[in-house]
Structure 1
Amino acid sequence: MKRLIRYFSDISVSWKFVLAYFSILIIPVILAGFYLYYQVSESTIAQASLVMEQNLLQTKASILQNEKVIENISGILALNSDFMNFLEYEYPDLNKKIEEYQFSYSPLIENILIQNNSIHSIRIYLENIIISEMLNSYYSITVTKSSERFLEMARDKPQKKGWVSSHSAKTHVFRNIADNTQVFSYNRELFSQRQKYLGMLEIEVREEVLFSMLRDPVINEMGNVFIVDAENKIVSGNIPEYYLADISETGLKNFQAGSRKRTVEKVNGTEAIVITIPVEQIDCTIVGIFPVKNFNGEIRKSLKDIIVVLTASSVVLGVIIYFTTNMLLRRVKRLVSAMNKVRDGNLNVSVPVKSMDEFGVLALNFNRMTQRIYELVETVYKIQLMEREAELKALEAQINPHFLYNTLATISWVARREKAPEVVRMANSLAKFYRLVLSKGGTVITVEEELEMVKSYLEIQKIRFDDLFDVVYRIDERAYKYNIVKNILQPLAENSLTHGIEPKRYHGTIIIYVGLTGDKICLKVIDDGVGMNAETVKKVMQGKVERSKGSGYAVKNVLQRLKAYYGDDFSVNIFSKPGIGTTVAIEVSKDIKS
């Protein structure tokens, strides 16, 4: 390592610049290349996420369209007044009712089945009859035919309305034929025109038709799409092996049924785009898992080409730097020599300027600098004198508060000697008030100090106004430790007294409230004074005042200081009614630097 350092120290300055520039430039170039690759890859993934989300939204729209068709079909039957009257009518002979159904209404349902190939079967459950319709197939049973058989089939009667998740078709129950067709069921209650409950209508829809859009070749090439029910079971998808499996078996973790999200996460150790879109109408969720490599595979293949191009570019850049450095160093050496002379006190030095490139401008400015150096030295000397004068003024300003405190202490002592307790109270309160107002030049104090300041002010005013008003403090002591902008409550309390209590000319009350609301500090000043109308409140909030003192000026001053310290993280509201009183409420963040 020492030999390498010694070797680097002994080589020419030109080669040092070449190696330094080459090292400095090659790293950004490589980083830029990888950053470009990363950005393109991320952009591709983001675009792919949007495209696949749109595809799944179209899939949802197709599902909802199919779902709407089924619901409309149920409406055709359930809202058919003739059909409902027929179902409600109690035939003396149930066989006559079956016969009437077969000749009058079975063709209607059969026509529905022919026009909608997604429907596997339609069944009607009545109190004493169960009717099942399939394409080119019809079956019915009454309670009088075979009570045992009727009760067996009645046990499969839907217990709730709406959609029921994937299950095997009920063909075997009615016809003793094995049928592995997977269906979704839509159930609807049947009511007569008199709103009498008649029974249930069940429409079985083939899963492969209801979710046929999941077999889209474009989606299948990009990844896997599943329909997951509320129990996290896969009830449809483009991979049959996962049917009725838990969604976690696909490698997807932290799945929440009914939630919508679009993220990139690890699925079975592979980075994948995961999109979930709820379909509330059928209580299911569309889940898309699309491996990222399916979208940025080509970009990875081009990474080697990018590295080759970056390397070649770096070599060419190194050669250019070598020759450029040799040219520039000659002029730099002249400039360094001139600077050394100036360092030794020779101000009559100039560097020849042969061009106006950066080094030429540098040389020109160096020449101007040598001409102005005397003026700069003199200016610095004057600034030092001004700084000393400012320090002296600052020291004088610090004496004034001490003089004020000492004077107030003297007044308090004299009043105590002369047995004037009210003067003692006023002097002590005024001293405390100014101590808190000045607070060593700080602009942020604790809530407890802010309360002490407003208490001192109101104590003085109570003496001045001969106890014309009472003060009630409602304080949450948990707020004491938090910091707040200084002198917020006092201007508001002064407003309440001057513009609320004093004008009504009889005894009043001022309430000072401090509390915590979540991550906010809540401050309120409430009075039962003369109040304001809505127009005046609006002008006060907008700071439109005609004089330099008053409610509008105080609120404007408070708003400006809150804006300066909290930005937009505060709120001020004024509630007032003429003849009732005024409430000024302020909420600020707990977090402010002292």
Structure 2
Amino acid sequence: MRDLSIKYKIILSVIVFVVIFTILNTYQWNSRVTSDTEASATSYMNEMLKVTNDNFEVSLRDVDHIVTMLSINPDIINAFSSSGYSSQIDFLKDERKIESLIANELNFKRYLSGLMVTDLAGRMTGAGDFMRFDDVKTQSWYSDVLQSKGRKLIIGPYSYINGVVEFKNPQSKDSVISIVRPIVKEDKVIGFVKADIRFNLLLDIFNVNLKDNASIIMLNRNGGWILKPPSELEPFILPEAVMKAWESKQEYKNNIYLDIAGEDTLAIFNHSSFTDWTTVGLIPKTKLLEGIHKTQRANLLFTSFLALISFAILYGIILILTRNLLLLSKAMKKIDRGNLDIAIQIKSQDEVGQLYNQFNRMVQRIQDLVESTAHNESEKRVAEMKALQAQINPHFLYNTLNTIKFLAQLQGAEGIRDVSESLATLMHVNMDSRRMITVREEVEYLTNYLRIQEYKYNSKFISRISVENEIENARILKLLLQPIVENALRHGIGQMKGQGILVVRIYKSNDSLMIDIEDNGVGMDEERIMEIMHDDLNNKSIGIVNVRKRLSLYYGELASFNIVSEKYYFTHVKITQPYIVEIEEGTDG
């Protein structure tokens, strides 16, 4: 990115912006439309299931009303509670009356396949197709009727063909759903009324309002099928999984997605309090969002087309805007190669034109400076000689500091005395012509330097210097540590809030002298460390660079200089050099 021209930077920036904006906008639009579609489908299916269930319940309640009226009919109760009639004619009269009543009800309800009344002794009458009493007694629900205390029972769906009751195929053409109520006299069940409703009633009601790709299933309270899913989906839908999802729906009140045949399918639940059955509407998510995906593809194609046109127009505009910048850039590259004879013409009055005018003036000044360099150089050398002659003799400054120290001691100015004494020691070391000194001397010099800095920083930091006793006579480059400590104080501890801590540790490891300098200042980032390690400092921390160069020049690859730092927390400088005690004659100085 840094090496690209401004033209391509602008183009790339606009492309990135447009792509990110398009992605975010598409994502937001897709999320919103998907959510709205799910909400719309859920609302539609909920309403459809509610209306359909209500219609089905109306029919069931109508049948239940008939069954209830028959179960409390006085004529029926008397007929089935009498232990005997005075004559067979009387019984036949009552039986004909009951049959006529049942037949009338059956004729008005075409979805009823049979209606029967029976006592517990096997005397029964009815209309349409109904189960024989011997078969009734073998059903599991028979005992439930006797213990129902007047409550209704809903049974099925099941089929009854040639005396065989079959529950395994609830959706056969012969299947029925039965509503049963006991006939009670004096709190004792003496018989029951049973109405059989054609299963086609349920199929007709629940299939009439179905959208394409949607399906409906229904389960009883025990998880048994009432209305099975389509045959292609049945192997993938487990009733217990559906019931578990229904329980989750009741708890969290949100839409539920079921994994059916490896596809997410939206499930909408409706529970009937009358039947205690649960109806579930199923819509595959792919079908639910099919229209959205088509719109997405069309929108993406249209957006891509507009983007291509926009990029083409943008490229042309940028070429026009950056043409003068390109000319100016080429001229500056020629200047960089030492060619000051530049002849370009930029007539625009915008910022580029202003920059061009300033550039021309700069080139003219450079030419003037080059012409006067030879003349100024000789005068500069003369001035430098005069400046050197005017410098204070170091020996004179050293003697003067001792005088200040003596006067401060006489007047009790301990601070001035300490600073003067420390500075005098520093001057003494500076005047020493040796290139290398002992660790003990370097530490003494560093201690005096830190004493002066403590006054400067007004006790802002505390320092600790740790040296192993057996290495005090080891040799070290003179003034090696002071620039690093100075940098730690100026750029680390000096920039922080609170108490600073500076730790210097010198020790021996194998054949190497190890030096650790650590502070808890503001630290530095990786970019700053890279500048120091690659001499790219622009006059910042030049002392540290000199330390690294001195180590490299004197020891070569036997020495190392490393910096570890974490911004705002600490800086740790680690120096490794050969462990040297004796120095060959003629190498020091």
Provide TM-score, normalisation by structure 1: 0.46
Q: Which has the larger radius of gyration?
A: 2
